[in-house]
Every structure is written in C-alpha cells, then in structure tokens.
Amino acid sequence: MEGKEKKSVKIPLAVFIIMILVIIALVGVVVWNFVGTTNKEENDNTTSKTSKNESNIVENNMEEDENKVNDTDEDDEKEELSLNNKIVKELREKIDFNYYSAASIYTSGDFTVEDIDNDMILRLAWSKLSEDDMELIEGNQGMEKHVKKESLKKIIENLFGDNIEYTDESFTPVNVKEFYSYQDTEEVEYSNNEYVGGYYQGGGGTLPFIYQEISDAKKSDDTVELYVKVAFVDTEYIDGSDNADFNFTFYQDYKNKKFVNEIIKMKESEYINGCDDDYEYSYFDSNSMIKDYLDEFNTYKYTFNIEDGEYYLYSVEKVEE
C-alpha cells in the first residue's frame, strides 16, 4: 500500500508581514509601559522629595517665626522701670564696684554665677568692704586691712545669693594694671580664716577710670535687667600752672592693654560741671556733656534673679548691637 504524500502549508507573504508587525507592536507596548512606569516612579520620588523639602522649609520658617514671636512675647512681658525706681537704685548700689573691679568685669568677658572665676568673686566682694567689715592694724609695710572670712562671705552672699560656690584663698584685688592707684594693689593673703590686704591712702592726680551710666531697666516675674553704657577713660595731666587740669579721653573699649576707638575728649573741669549731683558718691555717673555720645558706648546687661523678694546678680554680658 502506497503511503500518502504530506502536503506543506505555505503562509501567504501578506499574512507573514502582518504577524511580524503585530509582534513588533506588542514589544513596543511592553517597552513603553516599562519606561512609563519607571519614569512615573522617578517623578513620584522627585515630587515626594520636593514636597518634603518644601515642607521642611515651611516648618523651619514657622519655627523661626515662632521663636521671633516668643522673643517678642518675652520682651512684652518685661516691665520697663524708671531709672529713679527704688529697685533700680538698690541694684545700682549693689553693683557699684570700684574702678579696678569694674575694669576687671569689662575686660574679662561675659560670665554667669556658674562659670565666674573665683578671683572675680573675691575681688568684687573686696571692693564692697566698709569700715565695719574690717579692722585696721599696723603691719610691717604700713596699715593693713584684716577681714574675717565670715565678713567677706556675708558680702558675697548678699551679692550672688547663698548658693554661690567659691573657695576662700589668696587673690589679686586689681588685675588690670593700668587702673592701679594707691589702694589695694598688693595681693590679698588668706590664712587662718582671715584675709589681710594693704591699706593705702594716697594723693596724686586723676587716674584712668570707667564711665558707667544705667540707660535702661526691665523687670519680669523672676528677673531684673540693668543695661549699662560703658566707656574706658584715659587721663592726661595738663600743666597750666594756675590753671592745671586733666584731659579726659573716652574710649569705646580696652583691649591688649590699649585704649581702643576714641569717642570724645574733654577737660576734667568740663566733665565735673556736667556731672549729675545724685551720682556724686557713686562709681556710676550721669553727665550732660556726653549724652549725645552714649549710643557710641558699649552696652552691658546685668541680670539679677529674684528670690524670695531679694535680688542676686546672676550674669553680666556684653550686648551686641
């Protein structure tokens, strides 16, 4: 029996071409969908990052605005005090240190009760001694101040509060050499629960000094702030026979043992004529001759904490303007 012959199936050329085109189209669709999905994910990520960045910027701006509002609110909560207010006068007396201690404050930088130098604590208290706090005794080098440990402690705690930490030890009452005079230039020695320092009464002319004037005062529920205008004043003797005088030159600052940035110069006689009588016995001043120049002076802020109705010095800082 003869086998049957297999017939071959031929695909028309037109059909073949159509099939190829369909395959190409399908591949194109798949590729297009893949690229589109990838771009969408990248765009979504970019959009997400942009949104996050914009959100962070908005949050930061809102936080800055909130801080500004808080600062404003804090200022609004502070009461402006008259410079003739009883509290202001009391605190002016509390920080009415001698020129040596004042020079030490303004050349040593900002401080708080947490980081103040031990020497500074003792120096400021020493400058507030009264005759009732000491006993004058003739020593090998002349008269000496003898001050009991407890007497100095009382002054320190009146100034800083009884939580202040310090060490009883020998110290230098004057650490700015250019503000030396005839008083208290030797080291104060501490031993046997007693401080002993030199006591000198000298004459001579007017020495360099610190001009201090309270310009503003603010009070909140728990603090009082005094703003003090400060200038360093160098003095120079003018030999004029019967009309001898001194030149007072006011400087903005004192750095590296040099007076810096001259503001105004006047004679001592002019300065005295301009002084306010209320400040006669104070290391603070108010002088009509320099009112127009106060804006050129540096400003320092003294902050006092209020504790049980008492005011204690917490910090001194230079105000950046």
In a domain, 247, yes or no: yes
**Helix (H) or strand (E) segment spanning residue 206:** none
* Angle subtended at Cα 94 by Cα 264 and Cα 78, rounded to the nearest 5 degrees: 85
Task: Report the candidate in 211, 206, 208, 234 with the shortest Cα–Cα distance to residue 297.
Answer: 211
Residue 14 lies in a domain: no
**How many residues make up the chain in this entry?**
321
Whole-Å CA distances, 103 to 156, 212, 280: 19, 11, 20
d(CA 181, CA 210): 14
8 A C-beta contact, residue 133 and residue 151: yes
Whether 66 is in a domain gets the answer no
Question: What gap in Å lies between CA 80 and CA 84, rounded to an integer?
Answer: 12
State the pLDDT at residue 85. 96
Position 4 scores a pLDDT of 45
At 16, the amino acid letter reads F
Does 73 map to a domain?
no
Give the phi and the psi of residue 108 in degrees, each rounded to 5: -95, -10
Q: Is residue 79 part of a domain?
A: no
pLDDT tens, per residue, the chain with 321 residues:
444 444 445 566 666 677 777 677 776 666 566 655 555 555 555 555 555 555 555 565 666 555 555 555 556 688 999 999 999 999 999 999 988 899 999 998 899 999 999 999 999 999 999 999 999 998 877 788 999 999 999 999 999 999 999 999 999 888 776 665 545 557 899 999 999 998 765 555 678 899 999 999 999 999 999 999 999 999 998 876 666 789 999 999 998 888 999 999 999 989 989 988 766 667 898 899 999 999 999 999 999 999 999 999 999 999 987
Contacts 24+ apart (CB under 8 A), 160-164: 160/113, 160/121, 160/312, 160/313, 161/113, 161/305, 161/307, 161/310, 161/312, 163/113, 164/113, 164/121
Residue 50 lies in a domain: no
Number of domains in the chain: 1
Distance in angstroms (rounded) separating the CA atoms of residues 204 and 235: 12
Helix 118-126 / helix 99-108 crossing angle, nearest 10 deg: 160
How far apart, in whole angstroms, are the C-alpha atoms of residue 276 and residue 214? 13
Q: Residue 212 sits in which domain range?
A: 86-319
Indicate the SS3 state at residue 175: coil
55, part of any domain: no
Instruction: Tell whether 115 is covered by a domain.
Output: yes
